[in-house]
């Protein structure tokens, strides 16, 4: 089945710093989503982005489907950005999402 790898596994930042999170996948996809799981365990949809670029406030994401990777950019990070960021993909022969192992982000004041 399709493999999803995220990097880095852990990231520690000071407030105000920028960061880039990466998601590599091993096959063609027709669904790619980024999520933020906050320290209370709630899973928040950030982007639905099987291809192209999207922006939402301080967050933006780019997926290059032909090269099988996606990037999540966080600018001017805040302590509320702390948590785990997951990338999940779906392929053409299945509707289920395959999740990566996540990037754990800690932002300190």
Partner 1 sequence: NAGVMQNPRHLVRRRGQEARLRCSPMKGHSHVYWYRQLPEEGLKFMVYLQKENIIDESGMPKERFSAEFPKEGPSILRIQQVVRGDSAAYFCASSPPWQGGYEQYFGPGTRLTVT
Q: Which residues bind partner 1 (CB under 8 A)?
A: 29-31, 33, 35, 41-43, 45, 48, 50, 86, 88, 90, 92, 94-102
DSSP strand E in the chain: where?
4-7, 10-14, 19-25, 31-37, 43-48, 52-56, 59-64, 69-74, 83-90, 98-99, 103-108
Would you say 45 or 56 has its CB closer to partner 1?
A: 45
Least separation in angstroms between residue 15's CB and partner 1 is 26
Least separation in angstroms between residue 70's CB and partner 1 is 14
């Amino acid at each position: 089945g399709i493999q999803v790898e995220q990097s880095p596994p852990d990231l520690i930042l000071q407030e105000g710093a920028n960061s880039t999170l990466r998601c590599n996948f091993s096959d063609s996809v027709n669904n790619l989503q980024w999520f933020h799981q906050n320290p209370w365990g709630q899973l928040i949809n950030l982007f639905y982005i099987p291809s192209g670029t999207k922006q939402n406030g301080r967050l933006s994401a780019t997926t290059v489907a032909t090269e099988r990777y996606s990037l999540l950019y966080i600018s001017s990070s805040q302590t509320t950005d702390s948590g785990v960021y997951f990338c999940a993909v779906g392929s053409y022969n299945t509707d289920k999402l395959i999740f990566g192992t996540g990037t754990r982000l800690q932002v300190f004041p």
